[in-house]
Amino acid sequence: MSLVDGLKAGLLLFVAAIVQVSILSQIHVWGGIPDVLLVTLVSVALLRGAVVGAVGGFFAGLIVDTATFGQLGLTSLMLTFAGYWIGRYGETTGRDRAHAPFLSVAVVTVLYAFGLLLVHFFLGERAPAVPVLRGILPAIAMNLLLTAPVYALVRRLLRPASRSDLATEVQLLG
């Protein structure tokens, strides 16, 4: 990954984090909140792999926690895992599949919500499961709506890496 690509990815995630904190966090539809940062991170991770996904998730989470004056490190932790995991999925099986962004976003939306709930619970903070469960389907739906345009934009800015850049391992079948 080149420096320019890194800057582009960083800028994308920074803008997504600011938009998420400033605008989208105020939109509540049937208890769900759209998460453009998560969708952007998934897109970046799918296109650029696990390391970029994890680093991007960490710093994007840091921006969110800082801007909202929240528990520093909490969102970073969740987004690091999300970016890494989706990055690995992109590096191995999901990179050429059309449904990969949508599947990733749907799954990560659920895991991210439950992960946050779990961490809040372990920290002894308020962890209301019912509102989270109630809002999960609307959140998935809204994130899926965001996926197509966001993924298209990210793909335009970060051109998919060639196979040889991503795959360091092949299986020879004969």
Partner 1 sequence: MAPPNRTARVAVLGSSVQRSKSGHPSRGRVTLVRRLVLVVLVVAALALLTISFRSPTSGALHDVQGAGASALRPFQIAAERVAQPFRDVYGYFHGLTTAKSENEKLRSEVKQLRNESLKYQSAAAQLPELKRMLRYQEGPTFPKDYRAVNARVISFPSGPFTQQISIAAGSHSGIAVNTPVVTYNGLVGRVTNVGPTTAVVTLITDADSAVPAKDLTTGVTGLVRRGQGDSLILDRVPKDQVVQKGDRLVTQGTRDPRYPDLYPYGIPIGRVLSVGYSDNAIFVQVQVAPYTQFGSFDSVTALVSTKPAPKLP
Which spans of this chain sit near partner 1 (rule: CB under 8 A)?
Answer: 18-19, 21-23, 50-51, 54-55, 57-58, 61-63, 65-67, 69, 71-74, 76-77, 80-81, 84, 123, 164, 167-174
Identity of the residue, 49 or 101, whose beta carbon is nearer to partner 1 in the bound complex: 49
Q: In the bound complex, what is the minimum distance in angstroms from residue 68's beta carbon to partner 1?
A: 8
C-alpha distances in Å from residue 162, one per residue of 47, 91, 95, 149, 155: 10, 11, 11, 22, 13
Strand, helix or coil for residue 128: coil
Smallest gap from Cβ 98 to partner 1, in A, equals 26
For partner 1, the closer CB: 68 or 160: 68
- Given the complex with partner 1, which of 130 and 173 has the nearer CB atom? 173
Cβ 57 to partner 1, closest distance in Å?
Answer: 8
Answer yes or no: are the C-beta atoms of 64 and 37 closer than 8 Å.
yes
How far, in Å, CA of 54 to CA of 50, rounded?
6
* Closest CB to partner 1 among residues 130, 170: 170
Q: 98 vs 168, which CB is nearer to partner 1?
A: 168
**Long-range interactions of 4-11: CB distance < 8 A, separation 24+:** 5/48, 5/158, 6/52, 8/157, 8/158, 9/44, 9/48, 9/52, 9/56, 9/158, 10/56, 10/59
For the CB of residue 73, give the shortest distance to partner 1 in the complex, in Å: 3
Structure-token pair, residue 170: 């092949």
Least distance in Å: CB of 67 to partner 1?
A: 5
Residues in a beta bridge with 29: 32
